[in-house]
């Protein structure tokens, strides 16, 4: 990535012959090193999917903020600039890891842009910098979405992480509420006459509690599993007994709904169903911050039931052995 050159994937990726199928899109190390030496920024995207430490960090942010988080790394050579002036369509925390980088930040020309509303020079050129700051290792810079910025290195190479936060907006809230209106026939009819009654029904679904519920539900349903050490935890089930210490995996965001006939546990894109009488046990598992033993579980399950339940939760990735 360079501010003055548009790079193509074919410039630095190759296919490696292999059987039965070739490996596609493999980094050509010699070309990557040459590009870096000539001023190109190396970008590693989606590090939260591959590096457990960043996966855990981003998940902790998601638990605190209630919005999805992601992580990219930018390694920029000295006296270089990776991107021209632009704005991001998500909020960003810039964490300086090594070297230094000078950031010039300008007032927005498009307030709170959506994902498809990228910066274009036709929107207007930046004015005078609202902020001119050089980040050193350990420094953090917060950039709300829409704020124009550019970053330059000096006489040293620079490595920083960007933690992107994809904020759930009122537009998302309205879309989700409108989707729930699909069960009413009035919303399924062709527009004819006044929409006042339909607007009133939509308004009923936009209460603070409902908006928060849908926002939380979307976050919980769309998180990818973070299963560090899962093979070892599965192996440990061979020695599972009533005194085995277990704990909830710290990266799991889960919701529990208990009805008259069943309990539903939702996390990481799936919903597990249990008999309703297991609800208090699942509530205990989700609310307990300390390690526990199967013998500590509340409720009416017998010993075999307790072991079967925790074994399933380990296999599903919600519990781990201590």
* pLDDT for residue 192: 86
In a domain, 29, yes or no: no
Same domain, 156 and 197: no
Same domain, 148 and 92: yes
Query: How does DSSP classify residue 3?
Result: T
Beta carbons within 8 Å of 272's beta carbon, 6+ residues apart: 264, 265, 266, 312, 316
In a domain, 2, yes or no: no
Q: What are phi and psi of 72, to 5 degrees?
A: -125, 155
Instruction: Write out the two tokens for 192.
Output: 């004819």
Contact predicate 75/42, CB 8 Å? yes
In a domain, 119, yes or no: yes
Q: Strands 131-135 and 69-76, how do they pair?
A: unpaired
In a domain, 21, yes or no: no
Dihedral of the CA atoms 47, 51, 55, 58 (nearest 10)?
-50
Contact predicate 28/13, CB 8 Å? yes
End-to-end CA distance of the chain: 43
Count CA within 13 A, CB hemisphere, residue 162. 20
In a domain, 122, yes or no: yes
Residue with tokens 């590693």, as numbered in its chain: 44
Say how far apart CA 231 and CA 286 lie, in whole Å.
22
DSSP string, 34-65: HHHHTTPPEEE--GGGT-HHHHHHHHHHHHHH
Query: How does DSSP classify residue 226?
Result: -
Q: Which of 147, 165, 183 represents a domain boundary (last residue)?
A: 165
Same domain, 48 and 161: yes
Say how far apart CA 45 and CA 164 lie, in whole Å.
11
Same domain, 316 and 237: yes
Instruction: Write out the two tokens for 75.
Output: 């390694």
Say how far apart CA 299 and CA 291 lie, in whole Å.
18
Say how far apart CA 190 and CA 65 lie, in whole Å.
40
Say how far apart CA 295 and CA 304 lie, in whole Å.
11
In a domain, 236, yes or no: yes
Long-range contact set of residues 109-116: C-beta below 8 Å, sequence gap at least 24: 109/148, 110/146, 111/146, 112/145, 112/146, 112/169, 113/87, 113/89, 113/145, 113/146, 114/89, 114/169, 114/171, 115/89, 115/90, 116/89
Range of the domain at 195: 170-219
Same domain, 57 and 124: yes
Same domain, 150 and 45: yes
* pLDDT for residue 1: 67
* pLDDT for residue 12: 85
* pLDDT for residue 221: 95
Same domain, 204 and 271: no
In a domain, 18, yes or no: no
In the chain (322 residues long), the average pLDDT of successive 10-residue segments reads 74 91 92 90 94 96 97 95 93 97 96 93 91 97 97 94 97 96 92 91 96 96 95 97 96 95 95 95 95 94 96 97 92
Name the burial class of residue 87, with classes exposed (0-12), middle (13-18) and buried (19+) by CB atoms within 10 angstroms of its CB.
buried
CATH number, domain with residue 142: 2.60.120.650
User: Total domain count for the chain?
Assistant: 3
């Amino acid at each position: 990535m360079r501010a003055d050159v548009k790079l193509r994937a074919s410039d630095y990726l190759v296919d490696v012959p292999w059987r039965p199928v070739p490996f596609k899109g493999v980094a050509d190390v010699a070309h990557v090193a040459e590009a870096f030496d000539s001023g190109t920024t190396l970008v590693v995207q989606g590090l939260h999917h591959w590096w457990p430490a960043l996966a855990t960090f981003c998940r902790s942010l998601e638990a605190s903020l209630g919005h999805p988080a992601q992580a990219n790394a930018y390694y920029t050579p000295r006296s270089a600039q990776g991107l021209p002036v632009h704005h991001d369509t998500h909020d960003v925390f810039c964490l300086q890891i090594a070297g230094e980088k000078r950031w010039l930040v300008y007032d927005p020309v498009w307030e709170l842009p959506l994902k498809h509303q990228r910066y274009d020079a036709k929107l207007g050129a930046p004015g005078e910098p609202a902020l001119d700051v050089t980040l050193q290792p350990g420094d953090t810079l917060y950039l709300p979405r829409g704020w124009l910025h550019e970053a330059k290195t000096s006489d040293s190479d620079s490595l920083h992480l960007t933690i992107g936060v994809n904020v759930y907006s009122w537009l998302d809230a309205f879309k989700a509420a409108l989707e729930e209106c699909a069960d009413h026939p009035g919303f399924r009819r062709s527009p004819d006459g006044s929409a006042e009654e339909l607007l009133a029904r939509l308004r009923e679904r936009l209460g603070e509690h409902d908006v928060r519920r849908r926002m939380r539900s979307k976050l919980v349903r769309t998180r990818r599993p973070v299963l560090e050490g899962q093979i070892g935890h599965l192996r440990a089930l061979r020695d599972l007994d009533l005194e085995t210490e277990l704990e909830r995996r710290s990266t799991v965001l889960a919701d529990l709904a208990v009805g008259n006939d069943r309990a539903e546990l939702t996390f990481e894109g799936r919903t597990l169903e249990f008999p309703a009488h297991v609800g208090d046990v699942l509530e205990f598992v989700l609310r307990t911050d300390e390690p526990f033993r199967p013998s500590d579980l509340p409720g009416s399950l017998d010993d075999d039931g307790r072991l079967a339940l925790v074994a399933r939760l380990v296999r599903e990735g919600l519990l781990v052995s201590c």
